[in-house]
Amino acid sequence: MKLVVQRVTSASVEVEGEIVGEIWEGLMTLVGFGENDTEREADYLARKLAKLRIFEDENGRMNKSVIDIGGKLLLVPQFTLYAHTKKNRPSFHKAMSPDKATELFDYFSEKCRELVEVETGEFGAFMNVNLLNNGPVTILLEKEFE
């Protein structure tokens, strides 16, 4: 499972010209699932994401989480995080199948909602993602259990 986490001042997702998810201060996170990912990885990364201390405290140090600042998450499903690029044309054979990935994305979103407010993109839709990266701060989180 892979997450691309961006600290944002604002972010939104549009599908067919309509905003389906929008946040102000928080984390816009691209979410990708590998073929062997399970709820175990989702549980771990939901907790990690909500508690990741990448917001500044009163001393200007990254010491606060999205929970601490009262921010939100915008979760955007993105199977292309599992692109295999050995050749010039990406292959996605290591990405989870859409049916399973939809279920796991919904599960992951619910686990995050237990900790913080969550907005989401739309699985399987063509989405336009808009964001104002704050910092910029962008972090890659990955977890695979053996």
What are residue 120's phi and psi, to 5 degrees?
Answer: -140, 160
Provide the token pair at 50: 């909500």
Verify whether residue 6 is a known catalytic residue.
no
Verify whether residue 80 is a known catalytic residue.
yes
Catalytic residue from among 33, 55, 79, 108: 79
Which residues make Cβ contacts (< 8 Å) with residue 72, sequence separation at least 6?
Answer: 23, 24, 25, 26, 27, 66, 116, 117, 118, 119
Provide the token pair at 69: 């600042």
| Torsional sign, CA 109, 112, 117, 118 | negative
Catalytic residue from among 6, 78, 108, 123: 78
* Strand, coil or helix: 50: helix
Catalytic residue from among 38, 80, 138, 145: 80
| Catalytic residue ranges | 78-80
